[in-house]
Structure 1
């Protein structure tokens, strides 16, 4: 959707299975807004569903993804070429991250910033040590 006036967007939903990623396209790198279309692509040059055809001043809304490590980039439509790399990031259960696409490539470097909106759950469960019975 389009970024609403005042820039307020609803918070991420609560989910104890997935984490959430939202992308905000704030990079005015072309005079015609239709020429600002980008796709978010994975390391295999595959567009990420829900993060395709984003135009300047669009935001994707929070999309659910399985917990894990992601290595994406901002690409031209169809992931034909890479415009800017997104450093690999970890997504935890119930985490909410926002990826901002920034810069115009001329006056400001074209870049991305990843914001942690909600940390999520990164818990390690320690099971009790069971001692064998002595004979």
Structure 2
């Protein structure tokens, strides 16, 4: 795949379901317990409507790491597992809450291409997740050496 600055790779939209949010919330206590059972988190803005409303939100919102994971998934699907090798990089910032049933699209945009002395190419990427209206909810950068 010959990518140039300005080229974009976009994922298919993925819906942020209540179930997806719940899996993420319960993952940490389950991993920490490491006893073969699912453990449930205390109420948070990511899994409890009443708690979220008590914090001034209209309802539960997604943990921002889910959209980061979806960006990483697009990187791996696009370039293979080598994106996890040195000198790869991914940095994100969560800039807007994602509510239940919102579809997100992950986007990789080539910002620069550097030819390396060993013949490989290093891509500098802008990355983000956006909702159906094009509103960015997670933004960041990535680098991939091919």
TM-score (structure 2 length as normaliser):
0.29
Greater percentage in helix: 2
TM-score (structure 1 length as normaliser):
0.31
Greater C-alpha radius of gyration: 1
